[in-house]
Amino acid sequence: MKLAIAAIVKDEMDSLAEWVAYHRVIGADHFLIADNGSTDGTREWLMSLDQEAWLQHVDVATPPETPPQLVAYDKLMSICPPDVDLVCFIDADEYVMPMNEQSTEQDPKACLHGWLESRFQNSSVSAVVINWACFGSSGHKFRQEGLVIERFQMRAKKEFPPNHHYKTIVRRSAFSRMVNPHHPEVTSGDIVDANGEAFDFYQFRNGSRKPGLSQKVIWEPVRINHYLTKSVEEFVLKKSRRGSAARVGYEKSRKYFESHDRNDERCDLSLALASAVSEEMRELARRFEMAQVLGAQEVAPAKPRFMFSRKREKAETPVQRLVVDYPSKGAKAKVEDGQVLVQGWLFLKESYAEFNSLARLVIRWQPEFELKRALTEQRPDVLAHFGYKRFDDHPQLRCGFRFFLPVGISRFDIALELGQQRWPLDTIAVDSQGLSVNDVDKVRPGKSGWLFLKSDSNMSLEQHQGALMLTEIGLERWGAYFGALEEALKAHLAHGRFFITPSKEAVLEAQYGTPRAKQTAVEQILSIAPTEVIHPLSALKGLGGDAFCQTDTHWTHTAAMQASIELAVSWGLSREEVEALFKDDTYKEVALKGDLGGKLAPAVSKPVKVLFSFSNARLKVYDNAVPNFGRLVVFENAEALVDSTLLVCGSSCSAAFFNFLPRIFSRMVFAHTTGNLDKSLLEAFSPGYVLMETTARFAIRPPTSDFSVASSIREKMLSLDAAALAEIERKRVVRPMGKQDESDTESQRQDTNQHQAKKEEDWQPWEALYQTLRAEALATMNTAEREAP
């Protein structure tokens, strides 16, 4: 779940960077910040980060006789990105603490997001409240050096009355408005406390209740450290003068300080985060400095809608020199481990040298996606070339780059990105004619004998790392596809789902040995997709090693069964009834080389559990057996749970569905389109349900809504030799109308024949097309070819 922090600030420059850095460290994904007329540099600092993907800033003035805080919240929610799931409303002196006193060594991001998932996994929960833990001045009269989370380690006791105050994390889709800065109004659903229990307002002696105060004070597993006084100096010069964003004319006086400056107990939990927060602050400082330099130059924005253009007006380039050693002009591309090597260095001008660590090379060879790479290679020879004598402490010591691209590309564009600005650099030609990838180079060994895909054209590793992402063009094409799909489903009154089969490396992250990025192309798609998109990553992770075979890229029957259940439940079917269909299934362990183990020399086989008690072959009535694109399969099952047709437009991973979905739906039609939409299939089969399936590694390639299965069959059939055509004939299934029961009456037999004939007539045109194309293919061959074994 994606979490945004929403706040209104005024003259907070002395601690705002720490507050933002802290919440980024603990796992906040996005920031929505309203500035209420700051004059101390706060607004300029926010503006410098305003173009970052994770922060949005707006200006909010104080309306006459109206506190600005709720006005600010309304404005922030109006610009909240659609991919944000949860919004936490807090102030700049409030720090969400995602660790209890027994878990200071845990990963704070994992703690926070694990807690969020557990609290909001129930769709009926619309908001969670978290209580204050009020911190005092720790006896400091004057401001001292150090972070807020380091300087103030003394807090009030839990029973201190102000700790009954809380702040709220709200599900964005259920948000209506904030009643006050503490309490939300939601359109539906429940509000719970930090433990997930029913929330109850604080009850005063007269029986009244007030939104903003809770009956119970809960500090674990999550609370808010509220540094509401800080030192005497900071209180007098900042908080007291600033006033209140929630109450018009309210000033926090000496009495407020004395009543809230409680230093009863020591709490140093936040110290465990100080080092990470300081490092993040240094990164923010570099970004601010870079934005200041670049902002004065009116440089073109970093997100061009099209391929890099040299015709755009831009400021003077920050690049001193770019050298690409490989691929070198006039020479064959250098291939290592089945990929094209790209190597060289980029040196920035002196005024930009300090931004070297933030520099990114942007590589694009297709308009839908792009690869970003940092400068990571030490190049003291380059420093010596430019006359520098000392290397170790020079900010551009790591000015070199070394990365890989797929074999087969003929050219790529390269640009420099600094912050939110880009400069086109060069177009590099790649001579890869005659180069090929050895089978062994397509396999990446993981831990404990697990094998994964490598050197593929979709760059699975780079997608997993979040380095290869969709561009605006790519996202636009995904959006257009979803729109066309939704329109087609409505026109045919069909219930639709788009299914992304999780990648093996994402499910088995530990065995893969490389952490998955928080934001990948899949997350980009999910952020713009309708709610009918299913990516059952968590469900498959729960299966562990049973989700995939060690030697194959495809998921197991066990994983497909679990995914079939999740899919059916998403359509409103009873989980208990669906699970009952498969509860008596038995599995058998077999050795499998798979599409990875078979590439090694010698080949490697590993055991995998396959469904043994059921075979989909007995339900198959038609299969044209065309390999991959162009394949069409029809299953029928009169005993299925749902009497309706399911159309599956999927990939090779959909084959594992064949053992489960035909037991849920009385008719299942599969077309190999990898998620591309062929509207003629909707016309031909009139499905009540439609499943569009693709695999995660194809996320960078938006599907189309004008795909043609007939054209795929034609292209495939006319490209095959006699041996391949003979293999198709061997595998094909064309089941005639079934035998009639001898006890049936003539009328019953006629009804059965008519019913079967009606079912057959929708796939008969596809069979006729196959026969025509097969005849054409054979006619183009000479006698020797036709008679070849």
Segment 279-300, tens digit of pLDDT: 999 989 888 888 777 765 544 4
Percent share of the chain, pLDDT over 90: 73
Query: What is the average per-residue pLDDT within 495-521?
Result: 94
- Output the CA torsion sign for 613, 616, 617, 621: positive
Of all helices (H) and strands (E), which one includes residue 756?
Answer: helix 746-761
pLDDT tens digits, one per residue of 393-439: 899 999 999 999 999 999 999 999 998 789 999 999 999 888 888 99
The pLDDT of residue 313 is above 80: no
pLDDT at 287: 84
Token representation of residue 409: 């590309």
> Does 628 score more than 80 pLDDT?
yes
**Interatomic CA distance for residues 687 and 708, integer angstroms:** 18
How many Å separate Cα 748 from the centre of its chain?
54
Parse the chain into domains and list their residue ranges. 3-287, 319-437, 468-549+614-746
Among the listed ranges 76-90, 308-322, 691-705, 720-734, which one has the minimum average pLDDT value? 308-322
Q: Is the pLDDT of residue 104 over 50?
A: no
The structure's pTM equals 0.78
Q: What does the pLDDT look like over 179-197, one tens digit per residue?
A: 999 999 999 999 999 999 9
Q: Are 470 and 701 in contact (CB under 8 A)?
A: no
pLDDT at site 204: 87
More confidently predicted of 737 and 649: 649
Encode burial over 660-698: b for 16+ CB neighbours within 10 A, e otherwise: bbbbbbbbbbbbbbbbbbbbebbebbebbbbbbbbbbbb
- How does strand 360-366 pair with strand 411-418? antiparallel
Task: Name which CATH class applies to 3-287.
Answer: alpha beta
Fold classification of 319-437 is Immunoglobulin-like (2.60.40)
Indicate if the pLDDT at residue 240 is higher than 70: no
Mean pLDDT of the chain: 89
Q: What is the phi-psi region of residue 338: left when phi exceeds 0, alpha when psi lies from -120 to 50, beta otherwise?
A: left
